[in-house]
Chains A and B, each alone.
Chain A
Amino acid sequence: MVGVANVSRIEQQSTLHGTEELVINMGPQHPSTHGVLRVILKLDGETVNDLDCDIGYLHRGTEKIGENINYTMFIPYTDRLDYIAAPSNNLAWVTAVEKFFDWEIPMRAQYIRSMVGELSRIASHLLWLATHALDIGAMTVFLWCFREREMVLDLFETAFGGRLTVNAFRLGGLHEDVPDKFLQLTQEFADIFPSRVDDYETLLTNNRIWLQRTRDVGIISAEDAMDLGLTGPIIRGSGVKWDLRRAKPYAAYPYLDFVVPIGENGDIYDRYLVRIEELRQSIYIIQQCLEQLPGGPVSCKTPRTIKPPEGEIYHSIENPKGEFGFYIVSDGTTTPYRVRIRPPSFINLGGLKKLCVGQLVADVVAIIGSIDIVLGECDR
């Protein structure tokens, strides 16, 4: 009862002095909410007492569109979900639809899919690092990261013709084999990229201000993270070794060697380290893919019209931001009966309140950055 008495006294005092909560609308137009996220912050001074996320500003009804067009036509729409790493979404969709059939996807296609998936992971993590660092005030890393991201986008363009909305994969494999130039440029990129990661790390990893801003801020324990259903680098930063590339291998991942990095404390710094390590692991995977890349066709024989049997399927892959899944209900026609997207950003954003309450305004920005959301996929 002592506690209650204290609380009421504090309340009394605060009414006496006329202090009140400051409600701030952070977003939807705000430099650090990474899109059109609106966060309603209730502040006591600069401390966050409570917060509420308002999403839906980028809702385009992608799931409903998916019910009205056929399975191939939906591939370009998946580009628009997590537009930072479009090929990963394509991969999730095509592997989900392929689960309806017993097609044997040629190994060359599988390897190329893995390779492009890792490239998109690099593209996504680079954009994350760029904007996260910018949120914390390190402006130079921003453009350094974009320099390399541009190289990755050039690679996509060489291979598939599109930069941002790549439309990379088709049901049953690839549309056509990637050009030799793509493989050669990827090799060049894989050779120079690790040194570029070192550059970013020189500016951030040991920098005392970066450490002060990120260490012991936005901590989430492994249990909480699991309860909230967080996935991707966040849960790995909390020390849970959960990576769908290992847990439920798809594409060529069963044949590839890589380490799933995990953190210890579950703070922003650990998430940062996990993602930085993932950048290096991705390059390692790409190099393996280039070495082991088998010859042969890139697509299996698929029927002219794709009509999956009646039934339902859930398939998810490890997107750069977490578990990205498709739940498809087929009624045996050319269009799905229902498409449901499991977007990692949306579910990871659910942890925002847990992470932010009690922290300062400046930390909210850093935490949103460390969750790595993209609103295209969150609002769908």
Chain B
Amino acid sequence: MATDTPAIQVDNLVRRFGDVEALSHVSVSIRKGEFFSLLGPSGCGKTTLLRCIGGLDIPDEGVIRIDGTDARQIPAHKRPVNTVFQSYALFPHLTVSDNIAFGLRMKNVPKQEIGGRVTRVMDMVEIPKLADRKPAQLSGGQKQRVALARAIVNEPMVLLLDEPLGALDLKLRKQLQVELLQLQRRLGITFIYVTHDQEEALVMSDRIAVMSTGKIVQMGDAEDIYEHPRTRYVSQFLGSCNLLDATVKRRGASDAVVQTSVGELRVELGANPSEAARRDQFTVAIRPEKVSLSGPNEAPGENRIKVKVEQLIYIGSETHYVLRAGDGVELKAQALNVRGCAPEFDIGKEAIAFLPAAGLLILDD
């Protein structure tokens, strides 16, 4: 098997429930050894896609290939794919070690080997002493690790994780995120991770596919998706974003001057302007952390806008500002509290917001 055969290849998948298309012509190619996330709100189809790959659901149209082989020829229980369920789905009547050994027993792995593999995997997920407990005696985090161990002990080619950290508290979640990432790097297994938490996806993934109503809206690596969202939806799903309608006034070789509701702005178009950038009207976006504030007396200049500070939200490490520009348009800005909260930008004060041309993005919609 060539290493560049994708671990999972999905072509044009369609899955309908009644009149609703839960998956609408979805295609994606997932590489071996990568940590791939499906990100989106509830109902976007990410879990449905995961279940189709795992064999728990059967698509109405389209093909799924696992390491090159058409999955339709492999029934669910024979696929080299294992799932970690959102509700953990541990077998209540079996002990932890029997739970973990389940998959190995189904495959008739010799008894002597089972013991060793189970112990090793339990060490890997750091639950060495829980072997004889029953699931009802475990905490959420422990159940999570058992579910993980039960899946990876089978050494699957692909591991599917369905919002595994959703039920845990914040601190535990963050700790497990890091552990899962390290585990994946160590094992080299392809992980397909479903989540609605954009921060989680950004922290852990090599690549992210953002989904909405059954379609993949944008796919790319974490930084790419965050810094270069292509649609309003993606820009606001990952982090937040200021969105402005823009009309082109003048075009340059690699930039343009546009008229927006906050005034005139210069936008960089780059060497290969996108199809949207070639239109006369498009959406311009800028992330709040790219907007910088300075005192009202600073000299006016390109992309500098007079604003009034309407709201101030102190987060601890950052301060978030809600600003009002001339015509009542709202702008959001963020600043790191490097020297504590900046006193000159208090509520009601006037300031100048600078929207650097390099930080202005042009969206497809």
Q: Does B bind A?
A: no
B contacts, CB < 8 Å to A: none
